[in-house]
Amino acid sequence: MSRKSIERNISYDSVRQLYYVNMDYGLDEDGRRVRTYHTFVSLAQARKALRQFETERDLSRQVLPRAITLDQWLEYWMEEVIRPNRAETTLYGYRKIIDNHLSPALGDILLQKLSPQDIQKYYTMLMKQKGLSPNTVRRHHDLLSASLRMAVKQDILARCPTERVEPPRMIPFEAKFYGPDDLRRLCLLTEGTWLELVVKLAAGLGLRREEICGLRWLNVDFANRVVRIKEARTSAGASIIQKTTKTRSSTRTLYLSDDLYALLLREQQRQQQACIRADRDWDDTGMVLLDRHGEPYAPNAVSLAFTRFIRRNNMPKITLHGLRHTFATVASAQGAPLFDIGKALGHSTPSTTGRIYTHLLDQTHARILNRVASVMK
């Protein structure tokens, strides 16, 4: 036999003239000893590698070799970690990223062989070849990082490779909104149409489109003139899902202005009359926003109808979500504190409001400076 042991866990092959290092991981879950062998051209290299391995193993930074691919790990992570703890819409978004991008590009790589270089090249490919924006690629990075951090937690990986990559820089979000004149014109144009309620809930209360579509009559309190935002109606592919609001802070109670109070009251009466006329053909879902057949609107359908209405009436281009930004902008111009605006919008912290609506901070800053200057005159 050409290979002979010369030191603990180191042997020398006189024919191949190589030093073999036995890297002993201990026993696996079935009680079998797990070893790997690595070769080196010098005894000094072999000793150094063995010392490093044993130090990292003793510090629990070495893990048992596993023949599991990234695809297999992501499937486990999605089913056992994410599915029990996330909304269906989140699962749908994650699955699209995995199936359309991650799996074809990196899925066959062994998880323990996935390198920072593999991931860095993946990000570059998404932007250069597929034309994805830096902000979209950042979502890929967040998903991959979360899944690989769990692999570290469960002793599949020693380190998370995404910690050693440079994700693309986020492009600052610029909120598009209407000024008072455009908002007044939009309200006049939609008056008497089903979009009037949509526009006034979005621009008058700052509701998200999912919150508008998910609003139920039981959460409209006419006696106390408030509306309670507790649910959202969202899309996950072809499925429409009614769920609780986005975060705990998104659950909120908002005051109804005279105009919005009257509009909601008229809509409730209209639906009651339509239900009587339709008899059994009307499905009483209890939703506030219904089409002419008594069916709740899908969020995408509302957005599409709003966009077409804007285009048809030659209004400045804006999305339905832009009316939420309009609410924040108009409220700030009327002197509302940033904290109160954030509470109405359902933001968890004032920093969230400030990060999204940087122009509001500019307005507030300008008002403060002008007030200070007026004292100094």
Q: What is the pLDDT of residues 277-299, one digit of tens each?
A: 776 555 678 899 998 888 899 99
Enumerate domains of the chain plus CATH numbers. Answer: 3-58 (no CATH), 70-164 (1.10.150.130), 180-369 (1.10.443.10)
CB 19 within 8 A of CB 42: yes
DSSP state of 318: -
pLDDT digits (tens, 9 = 90+) for 29-56: 666 777 888 999 999 999 999 888 887 7
For residues 198 and 239, the model is more confident at: 198
pLDDT band at 19 (very low <50, low <70, confident <90, very high): very high
> DSSP letter string over 190-228?
HTTSTHHHHHHHHHHH---HHHHHT-BGGGEETTTTEEE
Long-range contacts of 63-66 (CB under 8 A, 24+ apart): 63/25, 63/112, 63/155, 63/156, 63/157, 63/158, 64/25, 64/28, 64/34, 64/155, 65/25, 65/34, 65/36, 65/112, 66/111, 66/112, 66/156
Residue (of 297, 296, 345, 327) closest to 187 by Cα position: 327
pLDDT at 114 > cutoff 90: yes
